[in-house]
Structure 1
Amino acid sequence: MAVAIEVGETIPPLTAHAVSVSLPTWRANVGYEEGERWVVDAMKTGYPRFFIHKSIARLAETIVADHALPQQTAMLFPSHTNALQCQEFLFRKAQDLSLHDVQVIDFVLCPDYEHKLADRKMPPKFSAVLYPQEKFSVAKQFWQHTGCGLSSRRAEYCHQLYDEKVMVNKAKAEGMCRSIKGPKRYQKKMSIDQSSDTNGHDVNETSDPADTQDSTQFVEERFGRHLGMSLAPNAKLAVKRRIAGNLTADVELSEAIILAKNDETTRLMTGFSEDDVYLFPNGMNAIYNTHRNMRIARGEIKSISFGFPYVDSLKILEKFGPGCLFYGFGESEDLDNLEKRLADGERYLALFCEFPGNPLLKCPDLERIHRLADQYDFMVVVDETIGNFLNVDVLQFADVVVSSLTKIFSGDCNVMGGSAILNPKGKNYDLLKKTWDTEYEDNVWSEDAIVLERNSRDFVSRIERINGNAEAVCDLLREHPKIKQVNYPKYSKTRQYYDRCRLPKGGYGGLLSATFYATEDAIAFYDHLDTAKGPSLGTNFTLSSPYVILAHYGELDWAASLGVDSNLVRFSIGLEEKAELVETFRRALAAIAA
């Protein structure tokens, strides 16, 4: 049996901000779900919306020690707005709480530093919600479902500033800050190439030496950061251009920024540009804010969840707003039922779906959904994370397309990100654009943006190889008699719907799954499969998971009733050499007979 990465190790190994964690055996996955100490205590990290990163937990403990009442704990967020949303969720879900029980504290740079960073897009800040410790499970629901929580990189950065008393409680900032002018090397007259500020203005030689330094450079070097966070706005712009499709070359950031803004895009839509792309801290946060903004724009109306959903996508529709109509199969018969409801006068805010769905890789009939939306005036939101815009064009049938940039867009499994794209040709565009421009809050932390941009530079070149590798693995699995069903868009009964959206050079993606007839065969195969094994998908390396056990352990019967069996193993295929990858899967299949 080959287990490459031990239980609880980060994936990738020794990665401080890893997105996945190693659960290398079937028993380890069950042990994680059961809360067994041999698994839980070994975990160095976990998927960031399910596992509070240790750097975030350490900052929360510090805030609690300094600011909380007895029996209170803290949940941390990047903005005051997010903290208020969590506070409202707590009051709504735990109605025995009083206003005294839940406080919001905002933390900002001392005034001495705030004005120095006025030209920066995102000076360091965060907000804490202090609430009774017994309500942790309620606050954790908000954190997990919405993706509003603090980034681990932001937590590390802000914790260092807080410990140095450079970052303080906003309400008590005046008078709390001690003068910190930085190392002596910054207190000298600047060289000629540093003699102007970031706006090109001459620096007054008679000013305080601490004011003449590049304050971002001071903060970064003082606290050991070397990512050049002043580049974050340009990194975000480059990411937007890649998502828009008008930046497809693998180029350095400086070259990416000077490329024409509205070059030909792979989105195949005139009038579409990076101005219609909005970035979020993660994919679920993009979905949460899309649902929230649509409710603000059109009112509190039920939505539709179409097809077997990612777990938190459904929870957002159920727990925020007036609820949803759920079609778990996502079949043509479901659209027949929906059309009858609409014809009888029922009205809905929006239909949310994935293309393809996870983990069965089925595709909804977007063309028919789009026609119904036009006829009965509801909006359409499509999650294209698994299909990705180099394989499929779903924007033509949607009002908003959302995606998790954490996945294949990044590939390196070490940063979170998300996006929402507005369709400029959609009939709801003007309303949505107005709402987004009013409600949008950029909470993507600067360091995360820089890492995401760097990771995504070779996004285009990676996709073709991953598509080819996935097809080869799929062909092998389809031949095995112990496997009940292989799920992949190319061989799905819904392939026609995929092909309507598939681009001329597009493939069928890097995600597939296999359902075994017998649990013992699934276990033998999984335990002997020599790949990285843990949550998440879309990594540059192959990543496997007993997905239903991990995502739906408390509702296995419900999942099975919708055709998603507990014997399913999901594979996110990577960039390995094709022949070696196929042989890896062949050896695991051979272990079943052994």
Structure 2
Amino acid sequence: MPVKVITTELGHSIPPEQPHNITFHIPGWETAKALRRGDPNLLSKLSSIYPRFGPWCEVRQLSTALHKALSLPETYGLIIFVHPDSFTTAQRYSSDGKWRKPEHLVPPSDLWFRVVEIPISSEDKVRLYITAFPQKHAPGVVGTWQNYGCGISSRLAAACLAHLDSLAILPFTATGADDVSLPNIPEPTYLPLTEAHTGLKSRIVELAQRSPLDKEKANLLSPENVFLYPTGMAAVWRLHNALITLRPEGEIVVLGSVFHNSYHLFEESPNGMKHFGSCDAKSNLFDELEKYLEGEKQKGGRPAYCFAEFPSNPILVSVDLVRLRKLADKYDFPIIIDDTIGSFANIDVLPVADVIVTSITKSLSGYANCMGGSLLLPPSTPLSPSLSPLLTTTFRNEYFHPDASLLLSNSQSYLARSATLNSNALSLATYLNSEAQDPSSPVKAVFYPPFLDTKPNYDAVMRAPTPEFPNPGYGCLLAVDFESLDLAKTFYDNLSVYQGPHLGAHLTLAFPFNDAIWGVEPEAAEYLKTFGANPEQVRVSVGLESEEELIDTFKYAMEKAKGEKKRLTSQN
């Protein structure tokens, strides 16, 4: 069949285009790299963006209005939160000389804090905590928005804009040189908890209890064991803070490839992280890990916790969770599993994880139009008696109820969509894997759980088939390695799918994840190559299109890459 032409303009969201969408189409390999560099020309063309990348659309409109209302200098920017601890977070982040470049450090007197109050309905008002900073130092501040994921959502911004005529500026001013801990700033309102939050928590428990590997543990779950946050990174951030409060003495052990914002969060934690990159079956992961743990034990120490994505993003390696659980029990450390890629429908990590963190923005939502993150803390874990009271007493709702309501609605089709995502991804990966076996093909390897040597580790936590979901699978994400960067670019630039970051959406998205995201950090990029996260790799989040359309689309791009390989070979 003819390859479908993408008609969406650069910078616009994938269809259907509407307010609050969280994707954007930026075709071309070099365009992706320009995004990571923050190219002003490209940014000026974006009508939509992934919200954690920075304030955009309605959030930018609200920022502009507040900038004027607060009479800030033209040289200043601002970011907006509903949690007042954003002030102390900004103080720490903007003055951290170990991790910030000198030119990005913000002099304390130039970091300003303000508080405003705006109605968001006829019944509720919200207090917003505003961090203002010189634009020339922006990279030294906006990381608190990007890495921690607690900035306000576009729907909350829209609600505030609708009531801007009732804006109240509180009589509070402070700088980075002041004590802005909670007792010294205006009392927060946070956001109201509603039936949407309760319903979404119940939905997550329902999915966690479906076809469980350990019925006894699953039956103990209740909505009170679920904590909701505005993004997946916010869930990671809030959990991280709770865990280092309980266990402040150790490093964070991180296994395999993880999302880059998570990586930076962990490495910048007070005691740092110990990263084990290679986690495939050929690695000596568990010998090295146990040697490290034994060494820490001999020194009287232990890890704060161990974090792993299952499987990992973007190389889809599945660490041996059963073996990891045995080490955790022996050396006394909690296991935190991010199951976003495998997803509730396919895998059950409850028997081995102390906490499960999920970006419910991805396939649970599935339509790329709202954000959310969740923590599931099983009462069966030994960590629960200490962590549950801490999370419960420190939890403050930052998740706007219209976002929660839409995500709950989207989740009703989750199992049906997951069945299609599994089937499409397996078919596409099977085709691409056949290319990897062909010497004339530019494909070097395919990263998808059934084609990797860690498949038994994934299968060990796969849910059993049920009538409503008869074919558990391996999820929507895969990656393709090419023989060279030139061949990868040729393939990608001829691939007629939507191009940009995000995964789990209804339409297929491709992105040169490693080269675009890590390419601006040469040392990190070299390190990632040591465990398979190569710059010549294209990450693909498979959507709900027909299998025939997907295969034909990828075959067309593959033929272009084969032609380029033949041309380059003939020149040598």
Answering whether residue 332 of structure 2 is matched by residue 323 of structure 1, we say no
1:584 is displaced (CA, Å) by 1.9
1:478 is displaced (CA, Å) by 1.0
SS of the equivalent of 2:311 reads: coil
1:563 is displaced (CA, Å) by 1.8
Answering whether residue 362 of structure 2 is matched by residue 359 of structure 1, we say no
| In structure 2, distance between residues paired with 1:491 and 1:460 | 24
Deviations 1:457-504 (A, max 9, x none): 111111111111111101111111221000101111001110110111
Answering whether residue 519 of structure 2 is matched by residue 550 of structure 1, we say no
SS of the equivalent of 1:49 reads: helix
Runs of at least 5 residues in structure 1 that lack an aligned partner in the other structure: 173-228, 248-261
| In structure 1, distance between residues paired with 2:21 and 2:453 | 36
Q: Which of 333, 337, 341 does residue 386 from structure 1 map onto?
A: 341
Answering whether residue 392 of structure 2 is matched by residue 437 of structure 1, we say yes
Structure-to-structure mapping, 1:149-298, within 5 angstroms? 149-162=151-164, 164=165, 166-171=166-171, 233-245=194-206, 268=215, 269-298=218-247
How many percent of aligned residue pairs carry the same amino acid?
29
**Letter paired with 1:234:** E
Q: Which of 460, 463, 469 does residue 503 from structure 1 map onto?
A: 463
Instruction: Give yes or no for contact 2:211–2:464 (8 Å, CA) kept in 1.
Output: no
| In structure 2, distance between residues paired with 1:42 and 1:326 | 38
Deviations 1:237-262 (A, max 9, x none): 22112211259xxxxxxxxxxxxxx9
Answering whether residue 285 of structure 2 is matched by residue 312 of structure 1, we say no
SS of the equivalent of 1:127 reads: strand
1:486 corresponds to which residue?
446
Q: Which of 5, 16, 36 does residue 19 from structure 2 map onto?
A: 16
1:82 is displaced (CA, Å) by 2.8
TM value normalised by structure 1: 0.81
**Letter paired with 1:406:** T
Instruction: Give yes or no for contact 2:54–2:145 (8 Å, CA) kept in 1.
Output: no
| In structure 2, distance between residues paired with 1:246 and 1:472 | 25
1:267 is displaced (CA, Å) by 7.5
1:444 is displaced (CA, Å) by 0.5
Deviations 1:299-331 (A, max 9, x none): 243211110111011111112322111112234
1:512 is displaced (CA, Å) by 0.7
2:540 corresponds to which residue?
571
1:13 is displaced (CA, Å) by 5.2
| In structure 2, distance between residues paired with 1:442 and 1:458 | 26
| In structure 2, distance between residues paired with 1:319 and 1:35 | 22
**CA 1:263 to 1:520, structure 2 compared with 1: closer, same or farther past 3 Å?**
closer
Deviations 1:209-242 (A, max 9, x none): xxxxxxxxxxxxxxxxxxxx99x71222221122
Instruction: Give yes or no for contact 1:4–1:530 (8 Å, CA) kept in 2.
Output: no
Q: Which of 66, 70, 93 does residue 89 from structure 1 map onto?
A: 93
1:32 is displaced (CA, Å) by 2.7
Instruction: Give yes or no for contact 1:244–1:273 (8 Å, CA) kept in 2.
Output: yes
| In structure 1, distance between residues paired with 2:486 and 2:7 | 21
| In structure 2, distance between residues paired with 1:64 and 1:415 | 26
Deviations 1:504-553 (A, max 9, x none): 12211111111011323222222222211111100011111111122212
Runs of at least 5 residues in structure 2 that lack an aligned partner in the other structure: 173-190, 436-440, 466-471, 564-572
TM value normalised by structure 2: 0.84
* Greater CA drift, 430-439 or 125-134: 125-134
**CA 1:470 to 1:246, structure 2 compared with 1: closer, same or farther past 3 Å?**
closer
**CA 1:424 to 1:146, structure 2 compared with 1: closer, same or farther past 3 Å?**
same
Aligned residues: 515
2:286 corresponds to which residue?
335
SS of the equivalent of 2:243 reads: helix
2:187 corresponds to which residue?
none
Instruction: Give yes or no for contact 2:203–2:408 (8 Å, CA) kept in 1.
Output: no
1:196 corresponds to which residue?
none
Q: Which of 432, 436, 440 does residue 477 from structure 1 map onto?
A: 432
**Letter paired with 1:89:** Y
**CA 1:568 to 1:288, structure 2 compared with 1: closer, same or farther past 3 Å?**
same
**CA 1:31 to 1:100, structure 2 compared with 1: closer, same or farther past 3 Å?**
closer
* Greater CA drift, 139-148 or 18-27: 18-27
Q: Which of 356, 362, 384 does residue 401 from structure 1 map onto?
A: 356
Q: Which of 117, 121, 139 does residue 108 from structure 1 map onto?
A: 117
| In structure 1, distance between residues paired with 2:29 and 2:93 | 35
**Letter paired with 1:237:** T
Q: In angstroms, what is the RMSD of aligned CA positions?
A: 2.6
Deviations 1:15-66 (A, max 9, x none): 2212111111223223333444553321112221113213222222222223
* Bigger CA radius of gyration: 1
Instruction: Give yes or no for contact 2:220–2:378 (8 Å, CA) kept in 1.
Output: no
1:401 is displaced (CA, Å) by 0.6
SS of the equivalent of 2:446 reads: strand
**Letter paired with 1:499:** D
Instruction: Give yes or no for contact 2:106–2:140 (8 Å, CA) kept in 1.
Output: no
SS of the equivalent of 2:348 reads: coil
| In structure 2, distance between residues paired with 1:476 and 1:379 | 39
Answering whether residue 514 of structure 2 is matched by residue 527 of structure 1, we say no
